[in-house]
Each structure stands twice: as C-alpha cells, then as structure tokens.
Structure 1
C-alpha cells in the first residue's frame, strides 16, 4: 500500500496531458515463423536493472498536492491503435494476436493482472489475465499474399491492474 504523496504510484487526482494513445504501427509480415511484442501501459517510474521502460506516462497540467506527478500506469486512459499489417510474400500468412502481461507468478497473487474490455475490429473481447495465465488469445487471421490487413484496437486501461501489458503477434 502506498501513502498519499507526489510519488504515489497511479494516484491521479487532477488533469493530465495526453489522456489517449492513438496511432498506427506498420508491420511487414516476415517470411518465417516470428513473434513481435508491442508494449502497452508501460511505466518508467521504477528502473529494472538500472533501465527505465518506454515512457508512456503523461505529465500533470494541474493536480492535488498528494497526487502523482505523471500518469504512472495510465489507468483510465484510452488506447486507439491500428496494427497495419502487410504480407509482401507470394503465399498467405497466418497471424495470431495475443494480449499478455509481463507479470507472472506461481500463484495468482494478485488475483488478476488485467481485467477489462477491448474492442477489436468492432468486436468486444473481454480480457482477463492472471499471474498464472498471463497470455490470452484474441484472434487469428489469414492475411492473403501481397495484401494488407488492419487490426484496430480500442480500449481504456482499467484501474487495479498491473502495468507492463503487451500485444503479441505470432506469424506463421
């Protein structure tokens, strides 16, 4: 449990910049079986082995004196992203998308690491990961030869989750 204070992890009581991550990532599908992880909801508040993670945190515009300086965890913030895939090969490729958590444990403590809905290409998926089941299948698509395919993801980061979520693409 964290006490109130400017370094309180994830305590947001104010107005913060950039409450939405929006954009498109171009992905040229490889010719052989490959994996690609895309970081979501990362936080650079704490270093791991002296290295800070990618900073996806927004600075405050105005806040209460005991609130966080940045949106560590990005709880309540929106992600509206497109994975713009292109298959440059003469054969079709199978692409599987997973939602995963970087946090694993031999027991479910905490009881979950992510619990919330995600809209993917207009279809709502319920995401629920735990320390013992940190990865959840979202979809498998066949991308035809020499063709594009977009996966549109739209979701809000729920509170009471762990940071360090990721999207994992598996190409076969």
Structure 2
C-alpha cells in the first residue's frame, strides 16, 4: 500500500493545522506545533508510523504580565545571559548595559557612541552589531571590550552567535558574513 496515508487526519493531536514542523537529523522523529487562541501544542511523532510519542500543551493565562523592573529610557536590543556573574539582561541602544535579572540593577555600562542594531551572546561574550558598520565584542561579566571589528559597508541588519562561537551577520545587500 505504498503512497497511502497512514491516518485520515495527519496530526489529530494538534489544535488545528500545524504551524511548524521539524524532522530529527536521524529522520526517526517529527515534531509538530500548532496554536489556537490561548493554547499551543507540540506533538512528537515516530516517523515510521506517525504514532504520537509525546504531547505538550501550553496554556497562556489571561492574567496580565508581570513588570520585573522599569527603566527611564528604552532598552533597545536585549539578550538574556546566565554566566559566571549570574543571570542578567544585556541591552543597548547607544551603549551596552548589563542588568541583574530579574531585579534590573545596572551592573556595568559601556558607551558605544553608535546605534546598536542587534545583539547576541555566547560563551561569555556579547556581540553588538552597530549602525556605524562595526561589530563590537564585550565580556559579559565585566563589560571589558574584547574587540571592535570594522564591517564592509553592506548595511548590517542582523546578528547571530552560533554555538561554536562563529558570529553570523546578515546584511541589507542580501549577504551573510561569517566572523
């Protein structure tokens, strides 16, 4: 019966149609997610027969959000870290700031004198993609500037610090740069 569907409804455990699907590298598992109203669901299926192995349902309470702390200026881009100095929120618009999380106390601040377009952190280093076509790398624990690299004038847009430490920069010219 090659080509015949295994089920009349492919993912009956979901809340409507799937919004995301991922297949494991060994092709043994399929993870599928869906969202409906204030609930979301993730189902993990065995690829061989599409039987459901795990089902997670998340419900968003209708209660209002909790304000952790308030600052006197916009935070700008932000990234959460948990490193040797403890949990923190690193953020910036024209400076990099480390705030204790969840209290919000400023632990250090480094002026950049340019707009921060994007931030990401990995292995104790926060990387700031700046509007002046520079990539600034700073130690997350104490704010020491580790490097400032000029970028080609391709219009930096986005930044990602990969698990292996590679920094990826996306540009408005449609290029992906690797550092």
Same fold (TM over 0.5): no
Between structure 1 and structure 2, the one with the greater Rg is 2
TM-score (normalizing by structure 1):
0.21
TM-score (normalizing by structure 2):
0.21
